[in-house]
Amino acid sequence: MELDAYRHIVQSTETKLLGFLRTFEKLQEEIQFAHVTEAQQRLQAAAAGLFPDLTDALAALTPPETQREFHATLSEAAAALADSCRLFLSGSGRQFAEAFIESRNRLCRALYLLYEVRDQLPGLAAYWVLPEALSRLAALETRPAGVEAPVGLLQQPRTREHMQYTLYVPEAYSPAQSWPLIVCLHGGYGRGDEYIWTWLRPAKSNGYLLLSPKSAGPTWSVLNPPLDVGSIQAMVEEVCTAYAVDRKRVFLTGLSDGGTFTYLAGLSCPDLFAGAAVVAGELNPMTDSLLRRKQGITLPLAVIHGVKDFIFDVRSVRQSCDLLKHIGYQVTYTELPEWGHALTYSINEQLVLPWFESLT
């Protein structure tokens, strides 16, 4: 197949994938587990004519010699997306949560593959950055001369000091300046290499490093806070040693169980963070001793919660915020009338990051 004909087919594929990714992302942020069937119907409509037609079409193609490696990566990503869609549509009842997690893992596998070959997929460029940054994409992707530090999405293994974590370093990173860092904690049964995708666009668009840790267990060590607190501290120190991080702009945030642990980690080592944002989390009783001695009283806190949250009742969250304010903590509370308990793409972009930036 000639190169021009092949690239034309790829361009058509990009358009279809961009629409699917945006729809799937929106569904994962808006999903309410009492209305799973409605979400599945929306995804089925978005995927109509895409899977398995796309994967079959890619498999039938014979790409030009120069495009074979790229084609293999694109085909693998499309297959992972097809699996992700199938798993999401297959779950029902109590089994849906498990299907959702597996679907999410396949989706993220596809995202890593697509990001790896993003320079050959310009039609997906708008997916990796915020709209206002799209005109600056070339600059955001340009590596300064002489910079040898690894950049992009990096997987760091577990050590004696910390669990494994995923790190994003902006492609335009240079040690000639100091860079802000966001530590983002996944929800229960999640992973750092999965949750980091909810933060990639705002970080890439605004020049932030991202550190997305994996908890020591299936979720964060709420009953033994030092276990994961120590791991997070070690990760932050490792990143700050390897990169030019502005230690006055290290921020902490987390979703669900990660939000609950944001309270514990933030108040346990308040000098490490410039602000902590709790999303869909609760103030756990394990914070009592910290609150009684007013530890971290100067640490700015943001709490974001959905009225339709079916895991952590919004009434309890309101009471916790009132308690924190009564004690003297600096709390900014935002309530989302239509949101439940789900992923946080637009919340991170429109609420959490602007709040972090307001602190500096």
CB atoms closer than 10 angstroms to residue 153: 19
Between β-strands 275-279 and 331-336, what pairing exists: parallel, antiparallel or unpaired? unpaired
* pLDDT, position 360: 82
Residue 226 sits at φ, ψ, to 5 deg, of: -55, -25
Instruction: Name the stretches of the chain with pLDDT < 50.
Output: none
Burial 47-74 (b: 16+ CB within 10 A, else e): beebbeebbeebeeeebeeebeebbebb
CB atoms closer than 10 angstroms to residue 146: 8
Between β-strands 209-213 and 331-336, what pairing exists: parallel, antiparallel or unpaired? unpaired
Residue the block writes with tokens 């690239």: 7
Tell me whether residue 23 is exposed, middle or buried, using C-beta atoms within 10 angstroms of its C-beta: 0 to 12, 13 to 18, 19 or more: middle
Between β-strands 209-213 and 245-255, what pairing exists: parallel, antiparallel or unpaired? unpaired
Which residues lie closer than 8 Å to 201 by C-beta, 6 or more apart? 127, 128, 129, 130, 345, 349
Let me know how long the chain is.
360
Residue 224's alpha-carbon distances to 217, 221, 230, in angstroms, are 11, 5, 11
pLDDT tens per residue, range 140-156 = 999 999 999 999 999 99
CB atoms closer than 10 angstroms to residue 167: 24
Residue 191 in 3-state DSSP? Answer: coil
Taking the C-alpha atoms of residue 153 and residue 165, their distance in angstroms, rounded to an integer, is 11
**Tokens linked to 187:** 């929800």
278: left (phi over 0), alpha (psi -120 to 50) or beta: beta
Burial 309-333 (b: 16+ CB within 10 A, else e): beebebeebeebbeebeeeebebeb
How far the first Cα of the chain sits from its last, in Å, is 54
175, 244 in Cβ contact below 8 A?
yes
Taking the C-alpha atoms of residue 108 and residue 130, their distance in angstroms, rounded to an integer, is 19
Residue 202 sits at φ, ψ, to 5 deg, of: -65, -35
Taking the C-alpha atoms of residue 123 and residue 21, their distance in angstroms, rounded to an integer, is 12
CB atoms closer than 10 angstroms to residue 138: 9
CB atoms closer than 10 angstroms to residue 77: 23
Which residues lie closer than 8 Å to 136 by C-beta, 6 or more apart? 129
